[in-house]
Chains A and B, each alone.
Chain A
Amino acid sequence: MSGAATQLPGAVAGPVIRAEGLTKTFGAFTAVDAISFEVAAGEIFGFLGANGAGKTTAMRMLCGLLTPSGGVASVAGFDVGREPEAIKRRIGYMSQKFSLYDDLTVRENIRFYGGVYGLRTTEIRAKTEALLGRLGLAHERDALVGSLPLGWKQKLAFSVALLHDPAVVFLDEPTGGVDPITRRQFWDLLYEAAARGVTVFITTHYLDEAEYCDRVSIMVDGRMAALDTPAGLKQQFGAADMNEVFLQLARGAKNTE
């Protein structure tokens, strides 16, 4: 895309994500234990934690898929408990597991998701051209998505998640299994999106990727055990890299999987 930044319709003033004492219990088990944090527009926010620390539960609440047991949270200005449908229209979502339909072509996938997000046909057409040009996929428009290399699929899935100009995009381990060069190209797409004002909320098991985030939170046993810039966290824990920070925090966890 050219330098012309896409203006996000109805951009929110102040934090795009705001959680205050956000809690989720399942019976006697507290999966998310009163977490509080804010994420600014255009920030790349790394959401880390060991398996079982509560990341997925917290993310599902922020996406409006799960009602909190306590506390409040808002995403793009809407309350996660009371206005989940409004949130779903203002966010994009992509994970390694769920992204595109292999049996549809590149163009069909874009058209399908454009329809799901409620875009007009003319809008979808224009966005399809821009997207294919930006990704260098113009010649592959009629190829089945299943025939594309994994790296291209992931770049396409990310772009499709941004089709409706969401305020926030939630990425759940988006780079799993891709080669190291493609992984880095994927991060270039994240940087570009963030520079356009999209807030990027990302989980990853690659701790070198935590270094690329503006700020990183680390969940341990349902609580937010740390939240700072990568440099700040390394200083706080006297660690050489984010891997060391993570290991120091996660080793003390009780709810290990």
Chain B
Amino acid sequence: MPAAMFAIDLQHLSKSYGPVQAVQDVSLRVPPGELFGLIGPDGAGKTTLFRIMATLLLPDAGTAAVAGHDTRGGMRAIREVVGYMPGRFSLYPDLTVAENLDFFAALFRTTVRANYELIRDIYEPLAPFRDRRAGALSGGMKQKLALCCALIHKPEVLLLDEPTTGVDAVSRQEFWQVLGQLKARGITIMVSTPYMDEAARCERVALLQEGQVLRVDTPAALQAAYPVPLYAVRATGSLYPLLQSLRAYPATRTVYAFGEEAHLSLLPAATAAATTGTAEADLLGYLARAGHAQVQLRGLTPTIEDTFMELLGARPAATAPTAR
């Protein structure tokens, strides 16, 4: 079989569950060896896409090919070469750590010993608990064991559905280091996450919302895609009063809380029609009159989260639903 040009090739995929359109005309191509992210909130269609790629679900329309095999008819071939870690823990809770691993290796007619090298770094912290039942493991350890089981047959393509959801920041960081190591071995990785900061760790990402692809690009290109200048604003005291003042400012286009700062964009017309000097000076004057002390305003490189919110069709915050 000739090497596939794309490890994953999705063309015009659609899938409905009754009246709910879970995936709508999604097309994505992932070359071999890429670390690709599906980024979006719950309900964006991430899990449905994984189930189609893992040959657990047939699309209503469109085609999906994984490792060169079409998911229609190629189920057996795909399952040989794909490792799939579902969002929900799906190992056997009544088997021990070692038994689960042996079981999954046996399913693929291999042994843990044969492919131990691939899982060594992930398995080592689990090794002291090898005789513990998987159901009795903590969340972080379950996640590590599930990844080991998905890797034990040395897959070409790894499908990871929200592996870091509900996992603390330390474990999340460790998990992404592991993904980097697996990528270095040439494994194609498709990973989904609702955490925008994790998008930056992928080579390319697809931003998804309600079953549709908003955009596919590299993290850098997504940041550069932000259409207008963006500012970070901070002042002494709580952020909330500052947000409220910025929302009430007539020239505000968008304003969102970002950690201890507010990210602000201004209406182009207001920028152009700035009467006294620059739009920045107008804004600083306004905030001072509103009683905010030590206001700092600086230009900002947008994050992927800024771009995502922009693509969500962010209306000016003054008309956001909660402010109605």
Instruction: Indicate, yes or no, whether A interacts with B.
Output: yes
| Cα A256 to Cα B173 with chains together (Å) | 14
Q: CB distance A184 to B324 under 8 Å?
A: no
Taking the complex as formed, is A243 at the interface, i.e. its CB lies under 8 A from any CB of chain B?
Answer: yes
Known contacts A136-B324, A149-B43: does B209 contact A179 (CB below 8 Å)?
Answer: yes
| Cα A250 to Cα B323 with chains together (Å) | 37
Residues of B within 8 A of A69 (CB): none
Residues of B within 8 A of A49 (CB): 168
| Cα A182 to Cα B256 with chains together (Å) | 11
| Cα A191 to Cα B149 with chains together (Å) | 44
Q: CB distance B141 to A181 under 8 Å?
A: no
Q: CB distance A176 to B140 under 8 Å?
A: no
Taking the complex as formed, is A205 at the interface, i.e. its CB lies under 8 A from any CB of chain B?
Answer: yes
Q: Name B143's closest neighbour in chain A (CB-CB).
A: A257
Produce 1/0 per residue, A129-159, CB < 8 A to B. 0000001100000000000011100010000
The stretch that binds B, out of A19-27, A30-38, A71-79, A207-215, is A207-215
A100 to chain B, nearest CB (A): 15
| Cα A173 to Cα B165 with chains together (Å) | 11
Q: CB distance B169 to A247 under 8 Å?
A: yes
Residues of A within 8 A of B314 (CB): 181
Q: Name B19's closest neighbour in chain A (CB-CB).
A: A147
B320 to chain A, nearest CB (A): 6
Which positions 178-199 of chain A face chain B at CB distance < 8 Å?
178-182, 184-185, 187-189, 191
| Cα A246 to Cα B43 with chains together (Å) | 29
Q: Name A186's closest neighbour in chain B (CB-CB).
A: B322
Known contacts A178-B41, A178-B42: does B169 contact A207 (CB below 8 Å)?
Answer: yes
Which positions 292-316 of chain B face chain A at CB distance < 8 Å?
305, 308-309, 312, 314
Residues of B within 8 A of A206 (CB): 195
Q: Name B255's closest neighbour in chain A (CB-CB).
A: A184
Taking the complex as formed, is B171 at the interface, i.e. its CB lies under 8 A from any CB of chain A?
Answer: yes
B57 to chain A, nearest CB (A): 21
Contact partner of B321 (CB less than 8 A), chosen from A177, A185, A242, A256, is A185
Contact partner of A257 (CB less than 8 A), chosen from B43, B139, B169, is B139
Q: CB distance B42 to A250 under 8 Å?
A: no
Most buried by B among A207, A208, A247, A250: A208
The stretch that binds A, out of B183-191, B257-265, B273-281, is B257-265
Residues of B within 8 A of A230 (CB): 260
Taking the complex as formed, is A231 at the interface, i.e. its CB lies under 8 A from any CB of chain B?
Answer: yes
Taking the complex as formed, is B194 at the interface, i.e. its CB lies under 8 A from any CB of chain A?
Answer: yes
Contact partner of B170 (CB less than 8 A), chosen from A182, A189, A251, is A251
Taking the complex as formed, is A50 at the interface, i.e. its CB lies under 8 A from any CB of chain B?
Answer: yes
Most buried by B among A180, A187, A207, A250: A180
B54 to chain A, nearest CB (A): 21
A55 to chain B, nearest CB (A): 10
Known contacts A177-B42, A212-B257: does B322 contact A185 (CB below 8 Å)?
Answer: yes
Shortest 4 CB-CB distances between A and B: which pairs?
Answer: A257-B138, A257-B140, A179-B41, A177-B42
- Chosen A-B contacts, 6 in total, with CB atoms closer than 8 Å, are A50-B169, A176-B194, A179-B209, A188-B323, A250-B169, A257-B139
Q: Mark A residues whose CB is within 8 Å of B.
A: 49-52, 135-136, 149-151, 155, 173, 176-182, 184-185, 187-189, 191, 205-208, 211-212, 214, 230-231, 241-243, 246-247, 250-251, 253, 256-257
